[in-house]
Structure 1
Amino acid sequence: MAEDRDGPAVIVVSSKKPVMNYVTACVTAFNMGHSRLLIRARGRSISSAVDVVNLLRSGFLSGLRVERVSVGTEAAPPVSFIEIEVSKPQPR
């Protein structure tokens, strides 16, 4: 298996593309050797980021763990954001 790169791979979710595009990007990142992903979204895209994680957990990677969830507001202009860090289980 390929070594994990420094830090998680970052997937930025917007509401302009279908959710399955982001799910595919996450699965591809895991297959390329990343063991952790940071899924980030702002504003109206927050629900899409949550959908991406739920689809990954229910259909693609059943052992996926949610390591950390951060929410907040960016300063100018004030826009809410979410960051969800997920990790893939290590094979035994």
Structure 2
Amino acid sequence: MSIEPQKPNTILVGKKPTINYVMAALKLLNEEGAPEVVIKARGRNICNAVDTVEMLKNLFIKNLVIKSVNIYSENLDTEGKKKVSAIEIVVAKG
């Protein structure tokens, strides 16, 4: 995503099966007691991030609250000519 270090309650969604990210979020929310989880993705993986949140909400945590959704673009090169879309979804137990 960006060069800054990620927070411990952040999940970066990639090409793995969606259920892997769902289980990681469940572990953070239930076992580790994180007050909220940030799910991030960019490019073609944005749909996987949305699927992850929907699976969490509909199948596992019925009172899941979507606190915020941020959509933005990131520069892929130093000149700023190539950009990629990105999403950041913050969820918490209600």
Counterpart code for 1:75: N
Q: Per-residue deviation at 1:8?
A: 7.2
CA displacement 1:21-44 (0-9 Å, x = unmatched):
000000000121102000000000
Unaligned stretches of 5+ in structure 1? Answer: 1-6
Counterpart code for 1:21: N
**What is the alpha-carbon distance in structure 2 between the residues aligned to residue 8 and residue 67 of structure 1?**
18
Q: Contact 1:74–1:80 at 8 Å: present in 2 too? A: yes
* TM-score normalised by structure 1 residue count: 0.84
Q: Per-residue deviation at 1:17?
A: 0.5
Aligned residues with identical type, % of pairs: 41
1:20 aligns with 2:19: yes
CA displacement 1:9-28 (0-9 Å, x = unmatched):
100001x2000000000000
1:86 match: 91
1:71 aligns with 2:71: yes
* TM-score normalised by structure 2 residue count: 0.83
2:43 match: 43
Q: Kindly report the root-mean-square deviation, in angstroms, between the aligned alpha carbons of the 2 structures.
A: 1.3
**What is the alpha-carbon distance in structure 1 between the residues aligned to residue 60 and residue 48 of structure 2?**
17
> Runs of at least 4 residues of structure 1 off by over 3 A?
none
Q: Per-residue deviation at 1:84?
A: 0.3
Length, aligned pairs only = 82
Q: Per-residue deviation at 1:75?
A: 1.7
Q: Secondary structure at the match of 2:40?
A: strand
Q: Contact 1:8–1:34 at 8 Å: present in 2 too? A: no
Q: Secondary structure at the match of 1:17?
A: coil
